């Protein structure tokens, strides 16, 4: 039967049903009925006109079928067949998504709901469902033309999951390697690794690819990268490097792409009803209940787009307050570019989310004062974001109503939702649930604590003996002396050393601390991160080397910083008799300066008592080793540079954070080193006069957690100082396995090149698995972030891990990678996950 005949028959059926459905009653206008008839007849005519083109167009081939064909080709070693079918599967999946988005957006635009000026409720219902029918017809025609029969594209959950995990790229990297297309193999491998950072074989493959001749840095790209996320991250990198004008372009583009992605995500939510636990054969809801169930499910999906758009591929948790954070970065970037009009606009727009934000309101007053009342009076917020917020709040109200009346689960993805939107009963219920959960958790915790105490009592004595035996290894340098061991320091895995560096070296390091350090370094530019009574400044090894590269400070000074930190690492590794190599986790030269006029009757600490790799709960006498603590840290050390200040003693305490077990008086060349666990709670007493400086160092035994910034520093030292021999990798580095070809019934796991590596490539390969850089230090009148960095750390001169700087001046061909990039914990310590250094009490 031809397309015209089918369409004509459907049109005849529609005419018959039209006579029944819109049978005029005494209360209905004849013109309204005629209008409805003419509308549906027009739709039928349009379909007749498109029938011929549909007959000539082949339906889109289902991507699950292509995926299956590609897998079959893989097990036949048909690499061309793998590539052909897998690439088509990826293309058709994207085409299916685009078609659905296009059709739903186009039909929503064409068929808008409207309420007629009529007092008859029946007519209003008919008008609404008339629009619904027209939309359904529009979608059926549009998707039929673009995709073919709807039943072709019923994709199983298993196949959808494989594409979500990017499994096709695992097959592709093998196939492309087999036909020697290394650039495409590398891109496929990198794309797969982005969402599978724990996949060891792929990690090893990437390390191998980096060392192969012909592989370029540009080949390591994410083929599934989201445009809005890439623009945001690039904007943050430029912002971090204080390239504010350039960062604005990317951040504004990120906002534009965000709303495009949001519209697409919301369009895809308007799909079929997901029964989700219901047996669809037994589902017997009436008309309005069925409409409610489906519509509330769609609304919940649309609200969840906030979460989906804020998730990076290598993270499970979304970036907190993702949309408001764009505006936070922008208002400060515009301020630094002296564009006060835009700074005011972004600040006012941010206040739509958080109207009572004290610091942002202060920033607004400052910007208005600088620009002047006459010019700033008429500046307002961005209308599109106000519309976005208003629409979101309406959806939230409906979802909360459905939760209250029908028990539909709704977890609000936004922190900015006003309290007034949440129903009173729900708030009371949530409070009761939290209290119940806390009580149960406390009871379980008490029981577990009793069990742990019994076990600890049995093992404590033997473990202390073992630790004491392990301590006391050679110090490697004649000038270094043990002042106090663990026994004299009343603990375990502790040592106090003198003579690590000379007085002249201390003076040189002091010079560096004041010439290169920045206020609030490591704390998003906050000059007083621990106490308002002191100012904090710091500089990392890499930053010092880069300043030397620019000629800002002498080369020998930055090299001394590098060498001193390595010397401390070697001494600790030897003294504690490490069975595996010790790696840098973070290095920071820091100074704490007492603020004059604020020291009277001071009772606070310079840095509160904490533990470096767990979250200390001194009230509960426990320290769970979990994020956001830096759980990868194993040993910590502080090298002191001076003693000409008052206060600032280092203290060890019991786990209650009150009873002091040992105290260390800082002086030049003195090092206190200790294990980073719950056995060594510590803090710093108040610096009441002068400036206290030292080098804070943290180490890890896990080679995959090595500091990325240190690796870049190694390469920069190589270049700046012309070393003849390359830096040797630590014994604990991940070794390349012998190339093998593992097959499984599911996915390929380890197909790597069989050639011996001949060329070392850049460490910029896996940039998506590095922490984003912290915002750069700011002048006195810069707005400054009010958010606390997540997690405590030993002698926490900083709580943010070092990371590779995108704006590095090192030539790319000089950078080498000694380790695969680690998976970064999802904490607030990464700059891309935090509000920038934007808020300051002005």
Please identify every residue annotated as catalytic: 692
**Exposure pattern of 715-736 as b/e (b: 16+ CB <10 Å)?**
bbbbebeeeeeeeeeeebbeee
Angle between helices 244-268 and 322-336 (to 10 degrees): 160
Residue 652 tokens read as: 């060890």
Residue 462 tokens read as: 């033997």
**Selection from 331, 318, 337, 401 nearest residue 362 by Cα:** 331
Q: How many C-beta atoms lie closer than 10 Å to residue 204's C-beta?
A: 18
Q: What is the DSSP letter of 186?
A: H
Q: For residues 711, 714, 720 and 721, what is the CA-based torsion angle, rounded to 10 degrees?
A: -170
**Selection from 381, 412, 408 nearest residue 395 by Cα:** 412
Q: What is the DSSP letter of 579?
A: S
The backbone torsions φ and ψ at residue 621, rounded to the nearest 5 degrees and listed phi first, read 55, 45
Work out whether strand 534-539 and strand 583-594 pair parallel, antiparallel, or are unpaired.
antiparallel
Cα(189)–Cα(748) distance, integer angstroms? 11
Cα(780)–Cα(525) distance, integer angstroms? 10
Residue 176 tokens read as: 């492309």
Q: Are 695 and 636 in contact (CB under 8 A)?
A: no
Q: If DSSP codes are grouped into helix, strand and coil, which group holds residue 812?
A: helix
Q: Are 570 and 741 in contact (CB under 8 A)?
A: no
Cα(407)–Cα(348) distance, integer angstroms? 37
Q: Are 78 and 175 in contact (CB under 8 A)?
A: no
DSSP secondary structure string for all residues of 554-569: -HHHHHHHHHHHHHHH
Cα(330)–Cα(238) distance, integer angstroms? 12
Q: Are 592 and 691 in contact (CB under 8 A)?
A: yes
Sorted by sequence, the CB contacts under 8 Å of residue 452 that are 6+ apart come out as: none
- In angstroms, the first-to-last Cα distance of the chain is 77
Q: Are 496 and 650 in contact (CB under 8 A)?
A: no
Sorted by sequence, the CB contacts under 8 Å of residue 31 that are 6+ apart come out as: none
**Selection from 216, 227, 244 nearest residue 330 by Cα:** 244
Work out whether strand 682-684 and strand 650-653 pair parallel, antiparallel, or are unpaired.
antiparallel
**Selection from 314, 215, 219, 203 nearest residue 733 by Cα:** 203
Residue 683 tokens read as: 């803090």
């Amino acid at each position: 039967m031809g397309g015209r005949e089918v369409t004509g028959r459907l049109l005849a059926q529609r005419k018959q049903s039209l006579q029944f459905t819109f049978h005029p009653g005494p209360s209905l206008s004849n013109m309204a009925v005629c209008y409805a008839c003419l509308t549906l007849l027009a739709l039928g005519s349009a379909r007749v006109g498109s029938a011929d083109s549909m007959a000539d167009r082949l339906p889109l081939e289902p991507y699950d079928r292509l995926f299956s064909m590609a897998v079959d080709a893989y097990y036949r070693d048909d690499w061309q067949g793998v590539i052909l079918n897998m690439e088509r599967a990826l293309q058709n999946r994207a085409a299916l998504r685009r078609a659905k988005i296009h059709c739903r957006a186009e039909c929503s635009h064409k068929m808008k709901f409207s309420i007629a000026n009529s007092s008859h409720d029946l007519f209003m219902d008919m008008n609404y469902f008339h629009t619904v029918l027209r939309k359904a017809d529009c979608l059926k025609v549009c998707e039929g033309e673009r995709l073919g029969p709807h039943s072709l594209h019923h994709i199983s959950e298993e196949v959808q999951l494989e594409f979500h995990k990017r499994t096709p790229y695992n097959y592709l990297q093998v196939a492309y390697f087999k036909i020697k297309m290394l650039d495409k193999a590398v891109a496929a491998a990198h794309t797969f690794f982005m969402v599978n950072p724990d996949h060891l074989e792929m990690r090893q493959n990437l390390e191998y690819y980096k060392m192969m001749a012909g592989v370029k840095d540009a080949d390591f790209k994410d083929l599934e990268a989201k445009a809005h996320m890439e623009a945001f991250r690039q904007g943050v990198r430029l912002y971090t490097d204080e390239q504010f004008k350039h960062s604005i372009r990317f951040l504004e583009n990120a906002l534009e792409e965000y709303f495009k992605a949001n519209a697409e995500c919301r369009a895809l939510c308007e799909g079929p009803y997901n029964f989700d636990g219901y047996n669809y054969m037994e589902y017997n809801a009436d008309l309005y209940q069925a409409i409610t169930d489906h519509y509330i499910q769609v609304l919940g999906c649309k609200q969840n787009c906030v979460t989906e758009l804020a998730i990076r591929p290598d993270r499970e948790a979304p970036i907190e307050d993702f949309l408001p954070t764009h505006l936070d970065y922008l208002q400060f970037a515009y301020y630094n570019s002296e564009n006060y009009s835009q700074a005011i606009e972004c600040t006012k727009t941010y206040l739509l989310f958080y109207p009572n934000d004290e610091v942002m309101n202060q920033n607004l007053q400052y910007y208005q004062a600088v620009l002047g009342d006459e010019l700033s009076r008429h500046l307002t917020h961005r209308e599109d974001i106000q519309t976005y917020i208003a629409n979101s709040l309406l959806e939230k109200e409906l979802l909360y109503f459905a939760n209250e009346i029908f028990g539909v689960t709704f977890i609000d993805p936004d922190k900015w939702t006003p309290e007034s939107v949440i129903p009173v009963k729900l708030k009371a219920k949530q409070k009761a649930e939290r209290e119940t959960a806390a009580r149960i958790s406390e009871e379980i915790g008490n029981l577990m604590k009793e069990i742990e105490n019994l076990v600890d009592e049995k093992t404590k004595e033997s473990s202390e003996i073992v630790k004491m035996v392990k301590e006391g290894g050679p110090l490697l340098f004649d000038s270094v002396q043990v002042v106090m061991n663990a026994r004299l320091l009343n603990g375990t895995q502790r040592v106090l050393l003198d003579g690590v560096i000379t007085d002249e070296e201390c003076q040189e390091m002091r010079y560096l601390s004041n010439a290169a350090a920045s206020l609030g370094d490591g704390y998003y530019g906050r000059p007083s991160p621990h106490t308002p009574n002191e100012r904090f400044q710091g500089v990392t090894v890499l930053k010092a080397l880069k300043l030397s590269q620019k000629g800002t400070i002498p080369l020998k000074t930055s090299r001394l910083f590098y060498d001193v930190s390595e010397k401390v690492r070697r001494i600790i590794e030897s003294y504690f008799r490490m069975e595996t190599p010790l790696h840098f986790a973070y290095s920071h030269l820091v100074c704490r300066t007492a603020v004059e006029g604020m020291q009277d009757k001071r009772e606070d600490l310079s840095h509160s008592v904490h533990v470096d790799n767990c979250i200390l709960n001194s009230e509960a006498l426990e320290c769970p080793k979990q994020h956001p603590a830096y759980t990868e840290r194993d040993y910590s050390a502080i090298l002191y540079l001076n003693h000409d200040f008052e206060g600032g003693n280092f203290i060890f305490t019991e786990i209650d954070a009150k009873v002091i077990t040992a105290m260390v008086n800082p002086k030049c060349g003195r090092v206190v080193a200790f294990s980073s666990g719950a056995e060594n709670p510590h803090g710093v007493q108040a610096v009441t006069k002068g400036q206290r400086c030292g080098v804070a160092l943290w180490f890890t035994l896990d080679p995959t957690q090595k500091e990325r910034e240190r690796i870049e520093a190694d390469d920069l030292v190589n270049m700046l100082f012309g070393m003849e021999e390359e830096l040797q990798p630590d014994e604990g580095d991940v070794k390349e396995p012998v190339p093998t070809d593992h097959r499984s019934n599911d996915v390929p796991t380890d197909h790597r090149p069989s050639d011996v590596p001949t060329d070392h490539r850049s460490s910029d390969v896996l940039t998506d698995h590095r922490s984003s850089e912290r915002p750069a230090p700011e002048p006195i009148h810069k707005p400054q972030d009010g958010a606390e960095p997540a997690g405590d750390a030993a002698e926490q001169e900083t709580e943010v891990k070092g990371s590779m700087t995108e704006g590095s001046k090192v030539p790319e061909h000089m950078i080498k990678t000694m380790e695969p990039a680690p998976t970064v914990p999802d904490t607030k310590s990464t700059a891309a996950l935090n509000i920038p250094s934007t808020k300051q009490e002005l």
